[in-house]
Amino acid sequence: MTVFSSLPPVRATLLTRGLPLALALSLGLAACQSLPSAPTEGFGVASSANIESLTAIIERNPNDPGAYNVRGTALGRAGRYQEALEDFNRAIQMNPQFHQAYSNRGLVYRLMGNDQAALQDYNQALSIDPTYAPAYVQRGNLYRKNGQFQFALADFDRAIEVDPDNSQSYHNRGLIYQAQGMHADAVEDFKSAINLNPNAAEPYNGRGISRLALGQAEDALEDFDRAVQIHPEYAEAWAHRGQALERLNRPGEAFSSYNQSSMINPSYGPANEGKRRLSQYGSAT
């Protein structure tokens, strides 16, 4: 699931125009809010009541591009992508230098499968503000998705340079290193991501995978345990936990972990393959 970034400082102008602080906190939004990218795609939930409240604010402030950007972010979180695009279009029409709105619109385009439009928006956001880290992260994820690892790596490097406290940048760069078999470097980046955001499950899962590749099964198991503790419905982490337990010659526990994964996602191949493998060799007890 795409995880929204922590709440940036709420601009006084937005609050004085009527956005209740509690609503801003509940959405994780502000006038400059961006939709952060994440290792897996999807959106969190934004309630209809929150969106209605943001609509009321726009009705009172119809010429505020920031208000459209905020509502567009909420609509994106709710999976209402076409409506989100309309809000970002309106924000950009009002303020053609609104780099956050370009970056947000790019993420929605990417989630809708329009990679070319997404790339154009990320490029535009960075042409306006070359220090805007979220756009580097999002563009890097687009490159990573398309196997353009060197371009992705350059973007994550730049994101870390301009914002060294962005955990997503380290996590995503770790995924690039992992895909290239550079597991020691990946472990270091996942460690940095965890230090910056210890309550995100994905970096633990990523570090566990690389530790497993390095033959560090006990350490990997600790990472997968932490990942499923944070996110009990994390099918991939349960399956990887099963792989670590297999390496540690604990087949009964491994089977249980694979089974938990397949209960969450019945079509997840590695979990089903693990169960079949253990059953075939009579090791599921």
173-213 tens-digit pLDDT: 999 999 999 999 999 999 999 999 999 999 999 999 999 99
Among 94, 109, 129, give the residue marking a domain's end: 129
Q: What is the CA radius of gyration of the chain?
A: 21
Q: Are both 13 and 120 inside the same structural domain? A: yes
Is residue 176 a part of any domain in this protein? no
- Global pTM? 0.80
Does 14 score more than 50 pLDDT?
Answer: no
Residue 66: predicted pLDDT: 95
Identity of residue 87: D
Is residue 274 a part of any domain in this protein? yes
Q: Are both 203 and 115 inside the same structural domain? A: no
Does 81 score more than 50 pLDDT?
Answer: yes
Does 31 score more than 50 pLDDT?
Answer: no
Q: Which residues contact 233 (CB under 8 A, 6 or more apart)?
A: 264
Quick one: how far is CA 185 from the chain centroid?
20
**Mean residue pLDDT across the chain:** 86
What domain range is 203 assigned to?
Answer: 199-285
Q: Are both 227 and 117 inside the same structural domain? A: no
- Which among 204, 210, 195, 196 is positioned nearest to 225, based on CA atoms? 204
Considering its fold, how many domains does the chain have in total?
2
Query: pLDDT > 90: what percent of the chain?
Result: 77
Is residue 174 a part of any domain in this protein? no
Q: Is 240 helix (H, G, I), strand (E, B) or coil?
A: helix
Give the lowest-confidence range in 7-11, 18-22, 141-145, 258-262: 7-11
Higher pLDDT, 21 or 275: 275
Q: Which residues contact 86 (CB under 8 A, 6 or more apart)?
A: 72
Does 8 score more than 80 pLDDT?
Answer: no
Q: Are both 125 and 22 inside the same structural domain? A: yes
Among 129, 154, 175, give the residue marking a domain's end: 129
Q: Are both 207 and 115 inside the same structural domain? A: no
Is residue 175 a part of any domain in this protein? no
Q: Are both 106 and 3 inside the same structural domain? A: yes
Q: Are both 125 and 4 inside the same structural domain? A: yes
Residue 50: predicted pLDDT: 87
CB 208 within 8 A of CB 220: yes
Does 16 score more than 50 pLDDT?
Answer: no
Alpha carbon dihedral 41, 45, 50, 55, in 10-degree steps, equals 40
Give the lowest-confidence range in 18-22, 72-76, 135-139, 243-247: 18-22
Residue 285: predicted pLDDT: 56
Among 108, 129, 150, give the residue marking a domain's end: 129
Task: Write the CA distances from 109 to 44, 85, 203, 285, integer angstroms.
Answer: 17, 8, 25, 47
Q: Are both 234 and 115 inside the same structural domain? A: no
Is residue 179 a part of any domain in this protein? no
Is residue 24 a part of any domain in this protein? yes
How many helices (H) and strands (E) the chain has is answered by: 16, 0
Does 73 score more than 70 pLDDT?
Answer: yes
d(CA 33, CA 134): 10
Is residue 5 a part of any domain in this protein? yes
H/E stretch holding 41: none
Does 277 score more than 80 pLDDT?
Answer: yes
Q: Are both 214 and 110 inside the same structural domain? A: no
Mean pLDDT of 271-276: 97
How many Cβ atoms are within 10 Å of 79's Cβ, its own excluded? Answer: 14
Does 264 score more than 50 pLDDT?
Answer: yes
CATH number of 4's domain? 1.25.40.10
Is residue 189 a part of any domain in this protein? no
Q: Are both 4 and 82 inside the same structural domain? A: yes
d(CA 205, CA 242): 12
d(CA 187, CA 197): 15
